Chains A and B, each alone.
Chain A
Amino acid sequence: MDNTQSNSAFSNFVNNKILPPVMKFVNTKPVKALQDGMVYALPFIIIGSVFLILSNIPIPAVAAAMKASGWAAFFNQAYTVTFGIMALWAAVGIAYVYVRNEGYEALPAGLTSMATFLLLQTLNIASPLVGAMGKSGTGITNAAGKTVMSGTAVAANIDKLPHALQGFLTSPVTGVINITWLGGQGMIAAILCGIIVGWAYSAMIRKGWKITLPEQVPSSVANQFTAMIPAGVILIVAMLIYAAFSAFGNTDVLQLIYKLLQTPLQGLSDSFGGAVIIAFLVPFFWFFGVHGGLIMGGITSGILIPNTFDNAALYHAGKLTIAQGAHVVTNEFYNNFINLTGSGITIGLVVFTLVAAHSVQFKTIGKIELVPALFNINEPFLFGLPIVLNPFLAIPFFLTPVIVAASTYLVIRFGIVPPLNGFAAPWTTPAIISGFLIGGWKMAIWQTITLLMSVGIYFPFAKKYDAVLTKQEHDKEVAEAAAGKAEAAK
């Protein structure tokens, strides 16, 4: 395996200078907590997106029937408390993982994070009248989605009422939790909340800030008190922060984080450059033998999942177009395009082994990889062919995801295929099926085209590498045969 031992100056540079700081970052406690904590939100996101599709089946007649039967509302209810409150899952999961990794009992920390996350947001909802009124208002629509009274008409009618009644009707609804902030919009805040609560909670427990009861007290009773001081301190601090924002800024932390941090980050990830960079970095890490899909997924999912969420909400409202603010790059863009058939989109190599490979090595590994490729797993290729540190396959390995990401971005951006609908297909969903689920039949066709691109890009490089391997194998055989003859002649 001469190729894997390549010791070029460049790979030395990357291994010594670039990878260590990246790995250090990936291994920091907050990033680990983020990666592993989000895992707890995933089942709810996936289950929720099934309910989303059921409540909005993309066949108009079926969708109308669903609505009429009342089932759409029930599905919507299930969607709201799963996918719809994903930031809440993240807040709990991240703090939980952080504290678990520190070796302390972690559920109280997760619950503290949940309480903190709720404490930091304004617990009311703007009166629906406010949104409906005025020129830019939505007006009032009936069950079929038809506007029965325009925004200006609503405003004109409200204006006729006595002042006290106007004020009463337009005041925010209290006694509620605003689920807007428990979904996509609160995601970055939830991540920060989970990390900070996890950190603070562990630090306090480590310092011994807890109520210690005499030994005679049963441990199950004593455990209830362990969390009280750290949780109390965290919640008091959170309350003071909430009070300060409310009193001085007339806002709350979540709105600020959404405006200052999340919106720019979502915009950055959802751009041509963002798509290409993410697509490039996955094979880049893999080329050096470390799990690029996992590293990039961990870092980007906090931003890309809210993009998915936004699209799901638009799809739900029947407004899924780029013009109405749909994102191009969502978490499914990452899972089901950039990493389709495995990082590097190596389906092209599978096809090559099936139709054109001669060397034993290519054929053997191809046989092993055939089925895993269907489920987007390609470690046999990465390590066995290998692709890792192999200069022969480096170019297509880097190029394919970048070209697929760039072209997929463009076809969605320019409306040739519709935006991704927010369905969260698990990353192991086979190609074409996943395309159909996340964007309908046009997306399935486009996904098939990206698979063909992979074949086209990999083929010439694979052919060259296969020839090299065949020659190596042949030389080895000849050498062995010669050695055998020499042995026999003795």
Chain B
Amino acid sequence: MTQKTIMLACAGGMSTSLLVTKMKAAAKANHDNFQIFATAAAEIQDRLTGDHRPDVLLLGPQIRYIADKAQVVADQVGIPMTVINMHDYGTMNGVKVLNTAKRLLND
């Protein structure tokens, strides 16, 4: 299986990078091969239309107000996206968020 990339975005990419660390740990425990990284909301467009675009996009709940716009871009490039569940985000539940991403990738 080729390595899939999961991109998370929040306001500045700061708090989401905490979650990324947890997700990486969860992926390692499962022996899943993912590249996971966090970025700022302002970067979403560039990242999605860039050369190394991710395979799935997850938004932090605090920027769900840009979800509609991000969805348009995600649809254009044909990748799935969703807003992370608030509770999973707050508890920094790497396992659950990773599963969300996997579900989106398999759909």
Q: Which residues from chain A sit less than 8 Å from chain B, CB to CB?
A: 1, 4, 19, 23, 26-27, 35-36, 39, 97, 100-101, 286, 289-291, 293-294, 364-365, 368, 372, 375, 377, 379-386, 388, 428
Contact = CB atoms under 8 A, between A and B. Distances in A.
Given A291-B10, A381-B90, 15 more contacts: A1-B87, A23-B65, A39-B42, A97-B42, A290-B63, A291-B63, A364-B91, A365-B91, A379-B60, A379-B90, A380-B18, A382-B62, A383-B91, A384-B92, A388-B86
Contacts of A428: 14
Contacts of A4: 86-87
The B interface, classified by DSSP as helix, strand, loop or mixed, is helix
A377 B65 CA distance: 20
Contact of A290 (B12, B45, B64, B89): B64
Q: Most chain-B Cβ atoms within 10 A of its Cβ — which of A1, A26, A36, A377?
A: A377
A26 B65 contact: yes
B77 to A, nearest CB: 13
Interface string B72-107: 000000000000001101111000000000000000
Contact of B91 (A101, A372, A384): A384
B27 interface: no
Nearest to A368: B92
11 contacts: A290-B64, A290-B65, A291-B62, A294-B41, A372-B15, A377-B15, A380-B15, A383-B87, A383-B90, A383-B91, A386-B86
B88 to A, nearest CB: 8
A295 to B, nearest CB: 9
A259 B65 CA distance: 35
B62 A386 contact: no
B78 to A, nearest CB: 17
A380 B69 CA distance: 25
Interface of B: 10-12, 14-15, 18, 41-42, 45-46, 60-66, 69, 86-87, 89-92
B92 A380 contact: yes
A33 to B, nearest CB: 10
Contacts of A23: 65
Contacts of A36: 42
Contacts of A286: 62
A68 to B, nearest CB: 42
Contact of B10 (A368, A379, A386): A379
Contact of A386 (B12, B90, B92): B90
B33 to A, nearest CB: 26
Contacts of B14: 375, 377, 428
Contacts of B41: 294
Q: Top 10 closest A-B pairs, CB basis?
A: A384-B90, A383-B90, A379-B15, A291-B62, A23-B65, A36-B42, A294-B11, A384-B91, A383-B89, A383-B86
